[in-house]
A and B are shown apart, each in its own frame.
Chain A
Amino acid sequence: DAKTTQPPSMDCAEGRAANLPCNHSTISGNEYVYWYRQIHSQGPQYIIHGLKNNETNEMASLIITEDRKSSTLILPHATLRDTAVYYCIVREYSSASKIIFGSGTRLSIRP
């Protein structure tokens, strides 16, 4: 079962920052937070992951609370191409673990 809770849908104006929340209150010390997104008719795409420090790459920023029970994915300047379903995943950082998807958040970017 998925270990995360996400709002089913959100919307954001184009050009603004999109902040997608995720609750993972039962996360354990050896579990990382991963984010993927799935654009319509495509396979999921890896975005970013982190353990406890904030992370940033060319796609997004990941803010993890100090108690690690929640996180926020930030798309700094949302475009129409960011319209997708965003999945927050908690995963053990071991070679045997696999990705288990929940239902995700459907993000709509309005012009």
Chain B
Amino acid sequence: DTGVSQNPRHKITKRGQNVTFRCDPISEHNRLYWYRQTLGQGPEFLTYFQNEAQLEKSRLLSDRFSAERPKGSFSTLEIQRTEQGDSAMYLCASSLANDRDGGYTFGSGTRLTVV
């Protein structure tokens, strides 16, 4: 297993367009997290899944954002009608439900630029 994989690495889109990002977690990890990070700030929690169930969503996750993890494996994060304020790095992480020893494993992120 090569760790958490995120695609694409970079995405440039025009305001108003829809974008979708993909995250492939470590195969045996049943938890998957999405974070957003803007320049100079720490990552902000968006949502997380345990298997296919979305267990928590942040208030940051407006109704334009939707995340899915249909079979409890990979996950997608879709942003509809993108705005310039959506420009950020979107990070995915995975862990075991009992992550006491190793913490989260993060991917390298998808950098979104809305023009």
| Chain A residues within an 8 Å CB radius of B97 | 95
Q: How far is the CB of A17 from chain B (nearest CB, A)?
A: 23
- Interface presence of A21 (CB below 8 A): no
Query: Which segment of B37-45, B61-69, B73-81 sits at the interface?
Result: B37-45
- Whether the Cβ atoms of A43 and B42 lie closer than 8 Å is no
* Contacts between the two chains (Cβ within 8 Å), count: 48
- Interface presence of B21 (CB below 8 A): no
CB under 8 Å from chain A, chain B span 79-115: 91, 93, 97-98, 100, 102-109
Task: Count A-side interface residues using an 8 Å CB cutoff.
Answer: 21
- Whether the Cβ atoms of B48 and A43 lie closer than 8 Å is no
Q: Which residues of A contact B (CB under 8 A)?
A: 2, 34, 36, 41-46, 49, 85, 87, 93, 95, 98-104
